[in-house]
Structure 1
């Protein structure tokens, strides 16, 4: 039987049957679910984000995650799962966008301006360089957790869900990163304080 015929037969199946085929690793099942739901999901994402690019990316990421998690899925209703997952993805995306905008405002406010002295400029660059250098000494997973928490403003439960870690594991990585930075950023105590209390 050709691939086209198999895809055609999937169109006659209900969501539950297609989902079972997906969990068995059938890529055509993923294509069928995408065909059934992508536009409705896109409309919701666009309505909330007001960005066609972001909406399209969120929907695509959703189906990538669906495929990656296919073997461990515990889903009864595909539509409930997809729209529920999209809801949390939209919240995360909007939060990240807000955090990014606020960080840009922070940089504009605190970064040395043209009339600052060369010494001020060097001190600012030294601070940024020190943070990046020290972070690179950490294991990749610890770096990732720290950046998601302190630079992107994501919560421990959000990081746990995205990285498939327990809350305690996320807390461990954050504690490990802060312990190192506490030692190396003694001369930047206020910056370190902000990093420690930011949640």
Structure 2
């Protein structure tokens, strides 16, 4: 006889909690995300959130770590686009377009940035994108230009989030070419114009 109860699915419940946490961080920000709101969104008892994640920072960090895996995949995709380093600028413009086009993800990343200012435990996660980007670009264009490219793209993406306007690809190409072109002597595979 079926009692109407769903079979236990600890991994499914844990994932539902993480998904709900990410949704809420995007919608209301980290500061306004709570165990109660996450439980309600996930459709689980409040005790489930504290069972899997004893503190709210534990829960937020786990949700953001899951989001960080997406960043790692995107950097691997970018590495595939860059290939032999002949079109670093084109690949970076492509990646910037993807980032600007995914407002939800960018809201999550900038929420993480802001939270990391006050929470040392989140700092490593917040810096993941820049670290991965620099690691990918440094062998091709040098460490300094790689850091400058990261700073430029962060600013471009943040401006697009604030204004709601996509960056001008021609302007972005000029700026990136100037940064990447400075390292032409160090990285012969980079094409500069």
TM-score of the two chains, using structure 2 as the length reference:
0.30
Bigger relative contact order, structure 1 or 2 (CA pairs below 8 A, ≥6 apart): 2
TM-score of the two chains, using structure 1 as the length reference:
0.29
Structure number with bigger Rg: 1
